[in-house]
Amino acid sequence: MNNNSIEKFPDEVCKEIKSYVYRLIDPRNGETFYVGRGKDNRVFEHINFALNDKNQDDEDLKYQKIREINKIGLSVIHVIHRHGLDKDMAEIVEASIIDAYPGTANITGGYGSSEFGPMNSIEIINKYKAEEVIFKNRILMITINASILNKSIYDATRFAWRLDVNRAKKAEYILALEKGIVVGVFVAIKWLRANQENFPGFTTNNSKRFGFIGEEANDEIQQLYMRKKIPKKFREKGASNPIKYNFD
């Protein structure tokens, strides 16, 4: 049976595999471009959604990749990475695999990725010795764990995010977070839609995402926040979204 021709699991298979974690792989280069978890036929839903004519305007990077693959007559490769899991274990396995494949189209890093994701020994020491931040301003926090790999901290922080831009404009400062530790403090001068016209040198064109043009905060503000860890409530389960605010 051709793995790539399967569009759904038989009912008896769905019952046996329980919760599972999967990867979507680009057949052109063997790269994993998305990691997810689910039950029943969740692994196939992304393909069905991306290729539905009603959803062609959705600019999610995952769906863009699926359409590119389909356009040249190839099929996304589905790999069930681990099955037979309960929901809590599936969350942990998913987050671990996302950490192992940086650069995927996943919007968030998975459960606990900011708190317990990959760190070297120095990062572990810094994390648990770090003083906790006491906010004295309206703050937008942006987690840049994966995107920092090939960029400066400023570029990784300012581009490109799904967020409420009107709310973001109310923030006095923007904190760049790596593993829950503040590694950059910036002031946004203006927010713009994430396209090459507004951000020359970046390749993303996505009308649903935004970036900012800004500068580093002054020394007094840097000393207030840099190298400190964010409060626990922003690192707990359910706080995996890379965008966080300390104000309503």
Instruction: Quick: pLDDT tens for 61-107.
Output: 888 899 999 999 999 999 999 999 999 999 999 988 988 887 777 76
Q: What is the DSSP letter of 234?
A: G
What global pTM score does this model have?
0.57
DSSP symbol at 225: H
For residue 11, give Cα distances in angstroms to 29, 48, 86, 178. 32, 18, 18, 42
Domain boundaries, the chain: 3-106, 116-245
The yes-or-no verdict on residue 1 having pLDDT over 50 is: no
pLDDT-based confidence at residue 141 (cuts at 50, 70, 90)? very high
Q: Which two tokens stand for residue 177?
A: 């977070």
Give which of 46, 2, 55 is closest to 22, Cα–Cα: 46
pLDDT value at 238 more than 70? no
CATH fold for the domain made of 3-106 = GIY-YIG endonuclease (3.40.1440)
Return the structure tokens found at 15: 């019952």
CB 230 within 8 A of CB 141: yes
- pLDDT for 130: 82
pLDDT band (50, 70, 90) for residue 3:
very low
Q: Determine the angle formed by the axes of helices 42-51 and 61-71, rounding to 10 degrees.
A: 70
**What are the pLDDT digits (tens) for 95-118?**
889 888 877 777 666 666 666 666
For residues 51-64, average pLDDT: 81
pLDDT in tens, 22-50: 999 999 999 999 999 999 999 999 998 99
Give residue 150's pLDDT. 65
- What does DSSP say about strands 19-25 and 32-38: parallel, antiparallel, or unpaired? antiparallel
The model's confidence at residue 2, banded by pLDDT at 50, 70 and 90, is very low
C-alpha 117/C-alpha 94 separation (Å) is: 12
| CA 175/CA 184 separation, integer angstroms | 6
pLDDT value at residue 102:
73
Listed in sequence order, the residues at least 6 apart from 133 whose beta carbon sits closer than 8 Å to its beta carbon are 175, 182, 225, 228, 229, 230, 231
Q: Cα–Cα–Cα angle for 137, 207, 237, nearest 5°?
A: 50
Condensed to tens digits (0 to 9), the pLDDT of residues 157-173 reads 999 899 999 999 999 99
| CA 60 to the chain's CA centroid | 12
212: how many CB neighbours lie within 10 A of its CB?
25
Output the pLDDT for position 201.
Answer: 84
pLDDT, tens only, 188-232: 999 999 998 999 888 777 888 999 999 999 999 999 999 999 998
Alpha-carbon distance values, 36 to 94, 118, 129, 183 (Å): 6, 18, 33, 28
User: What residues contact 62, with CB distance under 8 A and at least 6 apart?
Assistant: 24, 33, 34, 46, 50, 105, 106
| pLDDT confidence of residue 38 | 94
